[in-house]
Chains A and B, each alone.
Chain A
């Protein structure tokens, strides 16, 4: 998609003012911990995507990009905090400047901003995975299958695929859930209708036979068919309003019996046992404080998830990215899955109790209606209160939390107050004492009640039918989506799996060249097993070392990116991703990146100068910067020759020789290590790699003189007198520079040792500084000013050369 030519960072994170010229090539940023490397990574991510994942992802707490992105001294001045990059877009052959500031991080100032450019930058913004840190990388390797799928999907920008899968599944589950109460309503309506009809089975013939029997009493014509538009009461005269409403005696007695049966079910042995079972489960949950709290949290998050609609937290109204907020809450829910399972199990056991309570409530409500029609009225308050109690209990059981309250309600379920039974008994007695209605009145009452209940049942059936159709449709859609997305993702993962195994096998070809791996997607999860020396396939963390796991993470990332971005994979930032990989395997990583990803610009950070050297030696990077230290006021300071000599001179002029000497010593130590590496100078080995200046610089000088001697011998063997003379002149000049510095005397003459520099006056220290600046110049090419190096970097030395190629000193002698 893009290549970054250069970046300018102002007042951003720990950086005050820093410009790096990548020249569109791979680039390394090296420095000890805390010197500002990650600030550059953050700046790149920010300017390209408008976000810094380290400041906005999981576990960042109260940290925010807008508040904590600016340099700490500019935290109230976010518009001063800005990053500018110059990028090239290979597919458009265009160079574009992008600038963002932290006052309006979402708005990038793009020049030129034609639609094609903006579309490419939109795609870059949509792929924040161009920045990969070790923390993120290792997640893909060691995560649980569910978490890995989430991470890999985020990496591949497949979160949309997962979001739809979760959404469709949730819709299907909710539809299924709605069927349960609707089923209860239908059952109750059906039972009420059967009671009204006085039949055992609800068939069209039974309904017509019963209704027509009543209609014939009233002299009404028989109904031939039972359709939705026909009423059982068709043709029946409407009662005059003045006539007080009568209790339908037979029906009322049947309904009172039904209420008694519902209450009997409530107090039955089955219900009592069920209550005891659920109470035991909930008590166990409630007695575990951690679980109880987790149940609360889980329920809270689940409710919160349902309420997230407009990109704001439903609790504190803080604005969030909608998808980000949902993901944030979902992550918390996933962590509470075990608790969620126990909650669902308890809810399943509670469901029949809720159904029994609803049934009793409906039955009592029906008989309570009769009490109001009685003359004189029957005192039915106890039954009415109990009905309300049933409603409250249903709500409590459905809510589940707080557990203590639910347990209290549960234990009272099998108890029906005697006053309720007495009130119903009194009503039954009153109804039984009513005079028998005439046949015609009874028929009218029968048809009225039957029609009412038929309509209620029909409506309940209609609602249930619609809900069932929706549930079936939602499940069908969800199932097909799950199958299809798994199939497509399986295809992607199969290709990635092959590429991953190939890449990992390459960097470990010394001992794992037949390496195999398996990526197994299933229902939103992604299993990942790797071969362990032919002994079988195991999770990556089972037997492989941390270094191997780092290598796996990088190879998986590269395989995924190559597959999914294809030719668009032109830029990636690798933030200290090979921390645990040993030197040998890093060299292989260099070869891999150079050979397999020649069109990708990698910006890599490391705290390890040896890894930096590998990258340079292997030719993978076109440029580098080495940070020396960092301060709040200045930000990172780099090992830049111009900066260092200026700084030393500034200290000296201020008569701070101690600081000037310390900096000179530190810088010479750093440069001497580089020289020894480049010239392949022998230095007494130290296991801790903590070499001192007194060990390094004299070794580099000795080696340079030795190389000049070899070069002259080689020139003589080829009879190249002119070249030999030139070499002698260079050597003489170099020897003089070395002698002026006195560095070779450090071992034998403590009076000129660098440890004594602190005691010099600023005037006496000036020639020392000049001597070492000139000495370092003696190791460089006069054209490109880069340090000379021995080539090749292993085996028999053949030449001494520079990066620009102008200096090329032959070391090979003519064969005898």
Chain B
């Protein structure tokens, strides 16, 4: 297994876990919007509070 290195050569394991999770979530049929919201929370904003996660997971989904 390889971990994505930071500029210092230190692998960022949380980022790798989040990336693999988002890919698995997409492959399991989750909506693109849900994956995008979680990507923003976990990988861009790097906020992990329950409130932030709840907003990402439970936000109203667009109608099919």
Are B7 and A566 touching (Cβ within 8 A)? no
Query: Does B32 reach chain A (CB closer than 8 Å)?
Result: no
Are A160 and B48 touching (Cβ within 8 A)? yes
Which B36-64 residues sit within 8 Å CB-CB of chain A? 38, 42, 46, 48-51, 53-54, 57-58, 61
Query: What are the 4 closest A-B residue pairs judged by CB atoms, nearest first?
Result: A491-B1, A568-B10, A484-B21, A160-B14
Are B21 and A481 touching (Cβ within 8 A)? yes
Cross-interface CB contact of A564 among B13, B20, B30, cutoff 8 Å? B13
Residue among B7, B8, B14, B46 with max Cβ neighbours from chain A (10 Å) = B8
Interface of A is mostly: helix
Are A158 and B14 touching (Cβ within 8 A)? yes
Interface of B is mostly: helix
A residues in contact with B13, CB < 8 Å: 156-158, 161, 488, 492, 564
Are B24 and A480 touching (Cβ within 8 A)? yes
Given contacts A477-B30, A480-B21, A564-B10, contact A164 B48 (CB under 8 A): yes
A residues in contact with B11, CB < 8 Å: 564-566
A129-166 interface code vs B (CB 8 A; 1 in, 0 out): 00000000000000000000000000011101101100
Closest to B12 in A: A157
A167 and B54 alpha carbons, distance in the complex (Å): 8
A170 and B48 alpha carbons, distance in the complex (Å): 13
Q: How large is the interface on B (under 10, 10 to 19, 20 to 34, 35 or more residues)?
A: 20 to 34
A233 and B5 alpha carbons, distance in the complex (Å): 67
Closest to A156 in B: B13
Given contacts A171-B57, A474-B58, A568-B9, contact A489 B49 (CB under 8 A): no
Are A171 and B54 touching (Cβ within 8 A)? yes
A797 and B21 alpha carbons, distance in the complex (Å): 62
Cross-interface CB contact of A123 among B1, B8, B50, B53, cutoff 8 Å? B8
Question: A546 to nearest B CB, angstroms?
Answer: 31
A160 and B21 alpha carbons, distance in the complex (Å): 14
Are B24 and A483 touching (Cβ within 8 A)? yes
Q: A164-B48, A477-B57, A566-B10 are in contact. List 15 more A-B contacts (CB 8 A).
A: A119-B8, A123-B6, A167-B54, A171-B54, A171-B57, A309-B51, A473-B34, A476-B30, A480-B21, A484-B20, A485-B21, A487-B20, A488-B13, A488-B16, A492-B1
Cross-interface CB contact of B18 among A164, A170, A175, A491, cutoff 8 Å? A164
A540 and B13 alpha carbons, distance in the complex (Å): 27
Q: Identify the B interface with A (CB < 8 A).
A: 1, 3, 5-11, 13-14, 16-18, 20-21, 24-25, 28, 30, 34, 38, 42, 46, 48-51, 53-54, 57-58, 61
Question: A328 to nearest B CB, angstroms?
Answer: 15
Question: B57 to nearest A CB, angstroms?
Answer: 5
Given contacts A1-B10, A123-B8, contact A163 B48 (CB under 8 A): yes
A116 and B20 alpha carbons, distance in the complex (Å): 28
B residues in contact with A480, CB < 8 Å: 21, 24-25, 28, 30
Query: Does A322 reach chain B (CB closer than 8 Å)?
Result: yes
Query: Does A348 reach chain B (CB closer than 8 Å)?
Result: no
A558-596 interface code vs B (CB 8 A; 1 in, 0 out): 000000111110000000000000000000000000000
A483 and B20 alpha carbons, distance in the complex (Å): 10
Are A171 and B9 touching (Cβ within 8 A)? no
Query: Does A91 reach chain B (CB closer than 8 Å)?
Result: yes
A495 and B10 alpha carbons, distance in the complex (Å): 16
Given contacts A477-B57, A480-B24, A485-B17, contact A167 B48 (CB under 8 A): yes
A residues in contact with B30, CB < 8 Å: 473, 476-477, 480
A residues in contact with B6, CB < 8 Å: 123, 568
Question: B36 to nearest A CB, angstroms?
Answer: 13
Given contacts A91-B8, A477-B25, A480-B28, contact A167 B53 (CB under 8 A): yes
Cross-interface CB contact of A171 among B10, B16, B58, cutoff 8 Å? B58
A473 and B29 alpha carbons, distance in the complex (Å): 11
Query: Does A120 reach chain B (CB closer than 8 Å)?
Result: yes
Closest to B9 in A: A567
A residues in contact with B58, CB < 8 Å: 171, 175, 470, 473-474
A163 and B17 alpha carbons, distance in the complex (Å): 12
A104-121 interface code vs B (CB 8 A; 1 in, 0 out): 000000000000100110
Query: Does A168 reach chain B (CB closer than 8 Å)?
Result: yes
Question: A668 to nearest B CB, angstroms?
Answer: 48
Are A474 and B5 touching (Cβ within 8 A)? no
A70-97 interface code vs B (CB 8 A; 1 in, 0 out): 0000000000000000000001000000
